[in-house]
Amino acid sequence: MARYEAFGGVNGIWSVVIALSVAIVLSLFLFKNYIKTPNKDVFDGAVGSLLPIFNTASEVGYGGVIKSLSVFGIIKATIVNIPGPPLVFYSYFNNGTGWDCWLVFWWYCYGS
């Protein structure tokens, strides 16, 4: 990280965008003999990437809303402060026991 401090540190996703752009251009150049219709293929790839982009954006937005709720801090502090090995409790809460649904139900009934 120290070597990036001259550029203001690594903030944002600019490095990922640049890497993906370089990879796309390099792939088009290296495989130009195998790609019959590059404009159509790039267009189809761009259209096909829209659904994952919007799914990710909606999940990030949903997470931001949940994180802004005051009950999220209470639930997070409660889960983090459970005594014992963290892996056991995190796996218990994430293995389909339905705790997430019960927490949402509890917040809906008693939290607001």
Q: Is 1 helix (H, G, I), strand (E, B) or coil?
A: coil
Phi, psi of 106 (to 5 degrees): -65, -45
Q: Is the pLDDT of residue 61 over 60?
A: yes
Q: Is the pLDDT of residue 1 over 60?
A: no
Contact 1, 10 (CB under 8 A): yes
Dihedral of CA 86/88/89/91: which sign? positive
Q: Is the pLDDT of residue 72 over 60?
A: yes
pLDDT score, position 57: 85
pLDDT digits (tens, 9 = 90+) for 13-57: 777 788 989 998 999 899 989 989 988 988 998 899 999 989 888
Domain ranges of the chain: 1-35
